[in-house]
Structure 1
Amino acid sequence: MITKAPITRELMRADIAKMLHMQPEEVQDDDNLPDLGLDSLRLMKLVLGWEEAGLKADFGLFAEHGTLGEWWQAIEAQQAG
């Protein structure tokens, strides 16, 4: 299922890939994740798993942005501020 390790961009990539039945290297930072098949239900499952692993981020952050790169930038900005 979803990783329970500390959240990194690469772990998020792996979780997204697993959810979409892809290999992690197939998920690029600038890929539009909804275009790859990441619907709102799958996104919610991912975010809940990441929150359980300790990520402090609002679901709206993920819903507002559509790429892993944008998510990671927003997470870094949120954690820095």
Structure 2
Amino acid sequence: MALTLELIRHDVADALGEEPAAVPLDENLMDHGLDSVRIMSLLERRRREHGVEADFADLAEDPAIETWVSLLKVS
């Protein structure tokens, strides 16, 4: 399965216990309850499954799905 914007949104929604549609694409996810432990968990999963090379600092600098798209090399 390709790593897409919608897959990232779904992962974040799972981590937050929300529906994907409730997760904003352009807002700071930490303002919505995503913490550093959850970011690390999501990142490690994507490293294993998709070979993502981003690191925690990359994602934490601007924790918004729109920003993560390019950092995670989403197709």
Q: TM-score scaled by structure 2?
A: 0.84
- Unpaired runs of 5+ residues, structure 2, are none
Work out which of the residue numbers 56, 60, 70 in structure 2 matches 1:59.
56
Structure 1 position 17, deviation (Å): 0.2
Give the whole-Å Cα distance in 2 for the aligned partners of 1:75 and 1:45: 14
Percent identity of equivalent pairs: 36
The match for 2:39 is: 43
Structure 1, residues 42-70: CA drift from partner, whole Å, max 9, x if none?
11000000111112322221111121111
If you compute each CA radius of gyration, which structure gives the higher value, 1 or 2? 1
Work out which of the residue numbers 45, 49, 71 in structure 2 matches 1:74.
71
Q: TM-score scaled by structure 1?
A: 0.79
Amino acid at match of 2:57: G
Amino acid at match of 1:67: A
How many pairs are equivalent?
73
Aligned alpha-carbon RMSD (Å): 1.6
